[in-house]
A and B are shown apart, each in its own frame.
Chain A
Amino acid sequence: MIAPSSSHDRAARIACLIIPRFSVDVCLRLHPSLRDKPIAVAEGAQRREIACASADAVGVHAGMTPKQARAACPNLAVIARDFAAERAAGEELLDALETCSPDVEGAAPGLYFFDANGLPAGEAAALGAAVALADTLGYAGAVAAAADGKFAARCAALVAGVGISVVPPGGNAAFLAALPVSLLPLAPGDGERFDLLGLRTLGSIAALPTAPLAARFGERARAYARLARGDDRELLRPRRVQEPYEERIAFDGVVDRLEALFFALRGCIAAVTTRLAGAAQVCDRVDIVLELDAARSSAPSAMPAPGTPAPDGRTACAGDAPSLASRSLGRSTSSSLSPSVAPLLVRRPVARHAAAPDAASAVPKAGASAARTVVIAVALAEPTASAATMFDLARIALEARIGQGAVTSVMARVLPCADPPPQLTLFDGSSGSRRAALAATLARLQAALYRDAVVTMSPTPTRSRLPERMQRAEPVISPREFDKAGSDVRLKPAVSEKPAAWAPALRLVDPPKRIEPPATGAACAGPFRLSECWWERPVERDYYQLASISDGLLLVFHDLREGQWYVQGIFD
């Protein structure tokens, strides 16, 4: 017996658009010359796995290696998957779908949902328009369907195969009953277990009592049963285009004193954080946009771009005090401009002085050398709306990066982030303060150093046995990275283990330093041969632990291909 859908009277009609070969279509848009050839898109490390193939690539399917794919289809062209291009294409498609419905969601590349409630021309017309839009943008074979909920809509689109399909309101359960179990988002192994039990359709799962099913398969089985009955509780997550908050102060003259710049910056940050807090929002990054007077800046490299190592020099203190020549009010109305130019294009300052420069005119034009814009991104580690935190970190970042530059205007720009504002945590005890200290430390490091200077390291002996390739660095931006790594900063281990023995530490010399061959009879251990990467960069080395009177205990190797000796590390 099929249980009736429990959600039809509060039915959320959702439409789904599926583009079956989205990755291939994006590649074809980038490389139009390949349109007449069978192509496959490969992903993974060094393009080792086929992700998607065009319709004329006969015999090629996902999961093959490029060699297998070429063996099946000799004329096949294998192209690396371009995630950035796919993201851009997805945004373009979502922009187009907004003509069908105001609320659109990009769930995955090639999978899009939009709200189908109360559409003036009806669901079928909206679905037809969506398919036509996809076809116009170059995505062939798009299929669309509408149903009560995301899961049913997606199933309907997958089953339809071509054109459009509409599941009537309240008809989810009846529609899903005959569909295969494999459409469910199954955990690994669950499909085989359902098959062994003879449960091959969604209707057979919907007919079972939930409690025994959960007892056998775990709590996830309750979700399976709900979806099989057509009771999909997942809401549409509409794409929201966040608009940045900006505050800009332009000076009458130029400012080359840090103190004066900080004075103006403090005002800018206070204004944007007031607006953030007023909207109950937080941000995890603040951009400091400085406009430099190129004529008075000593050198083009004096103010490096964000992400570059900081120079050692500091600004010479001489110049004008700032005055509020202009202050812009209100929130930016442009949302689709690139971050580097958006604030300068959309701001028209409220003139309090006649000499205030027009913001639009400050955009560097081709061939013009009057002004130069520098954007310094300050990561905040944890989302916040605190003006004091933002200003402290912005000050550290400016102190670390400022060179001999004459600043004509300063702007603070924040983009509200998706994370909700931090809530009060009850029963947290003193553990929260430790996490806050870590967040503050990471934020200070991010502000003071260049990007990726703060990392966690991990050995990767399975990747390579060569010392220079045996470790991997993962950038740490937020304490959340520590949480992901399984190191909860709030908890201490109950039992501390004692080490079995000390191991001598090795200081890596990367790249290896060339040395003269060791003298005959030198105290050493070895050789230990390492040969690997014969398929790309062959390496054959004989390693020795060499006790050198002058340099100590070294890890050296003899490169058998070059015939040279190198120091790889120093035991210290």
Chain B
Amino acid sequence: MAELFGAPSSGKTTLAFALLAACTRAGEIVAWVDASHAFFAPAAAAAGIDLRRLLVVRPAGAAAMRRAVDALVRGGACAMVALDCAGLNDALLAHHCARLVAQAEKTGTVLLVLSGGDVPAVASFASVRLRAEGLVPRWQAGSAGSGRLAGCAVSVTVAKSRTAAPGKRVRVETRMPDVAGTFLVETPGPLQSDEMEMDAQHDRSFVIA
């Protein structure tokens, strides 16, 4: 179990999408438990997720969400199950987490919990906790504050790790798929070096995690 936490608009969903995209590129099936019904398919496609390999589960309420996660983790068909429980602080208690962790270890499933950082049971049972801090807007050069949004910067800090010391920090640059931010076009091409300072470390964030 890994926890990705942060305030709203901190970049945690971006990081989760990147992880899911890596899994689907490897041919794995993944799942997104969308308790808040906030999943936006064009954004996921722009992040590189193969949506044909993504199961989206939309439970109604906390109990249904627990049942859904239990079924997904117990089944073992999904390489990664992302549980978006932002806003459902009491959805997972200690005994729920104990059971989920045991099942996840048995089936080899990664359970990624997205939260606001205020779920004590998840914080206790997670092997890795990553704190996403601040989605910093990158305005296009020459139009600061009034023109075009080119992308964002996300900072990720390892808050807890069972295999390494916490405190490592990675900064990831992201780029808007289109100027309107409504994901009308396909995933953009590679960034130009003079257009934005692309942080070459972003692939290493998985290694640290």
Contact = CB atoms under 8 A, between A and B. Distances in A.
Interface of A: 309-310, 312, 396, 400, 434, 437-438, 440-441, 444-445, 448-450, 453-459, 461, 465, 467, 470-473, 476, 482, 485-487, 489, 491-493, 496-510, 523-526, 528, 530, 543, 545, 547, 551-555, 569-572
Interface of B: 7-14, 16-18, 21, 25-27, 29, 36-48, 50-64, 67-68, 70-72, 74-78, 135, 137, 139, 143, 145-149, 151-152, 154, 172-177, 179-184, 187-191, 198, 202
B71 A545 contact: no
A521 to B, nearest CB: 8
Contact of B27 (A449, A493, A543): A493
A401 B8 CA distance: 33
A271 B27 CA distance: 41
A471 B38 CA distance: 12
Contact of B60 (A450, A498, A552): A450
Contacts of A525: 139, 143, 146-149, 179, 181
B42 A459 contact: yes
Given A459-B45, A545-B149, 5 more contacts: A309-B61, A453-B60, A499-B187, A501-B187, A502-B173
11 contacts: A455-B55, A471-B41, A472-B41, A493-B25, A506-B43, A507-B40, A508-B39, A523-B139, A525-B149, A543-B180, A572-B14
A445 B38 contact: no
A429 to B, nearest CB: 15
Interface of A is mostly: mixed
Contacts of B38: 507-510, 570
Nearest to A507: B38
Contacts of B54: 456-457
Nearest to B27: A492
Contacts of A493: 25-27
Contact of A502 (B52, B75, B181, B202): B202
A505 B47 contact: yes
B171 to A, nearest CB: 12
A492 B26 contact: yes
B93 to A, nearest CB: 14
Contact of B56 (A457, A459, A499, A547): A457
B26 A497 contact: no
A461 B42 contact: yes
Contact of A487 (B37, B50, B137): B50
Contacts of A485: 52
- Count chain A CB atoms within 10 A of each CB in B36, B40, B180 and give the residue with the most: B40
B77 A440 contact: yes
Nearest to B45: A459
B112 to A, nearest CB: 14
Nearest to A311: B63
A528 B58 CA distance: 31
B152 A500 contact: no
Given A440-B75, A441-B71, A453-B60, A501 B190 contact: yes
Contacts of A450: 60, 64
Given A499-B21, A555-B181, A505 B75 contact: no
A487 B64 contact: no
Contacts of B48: 499, 503
Nearest to A572: B13
A453 B47 contact: no
A441 B190 CA distance: 37
B13 A530 contact: no
B76 A572 contact: no
Given A500-B187, A545-B181, A553-B152, A438 B13 contact: no
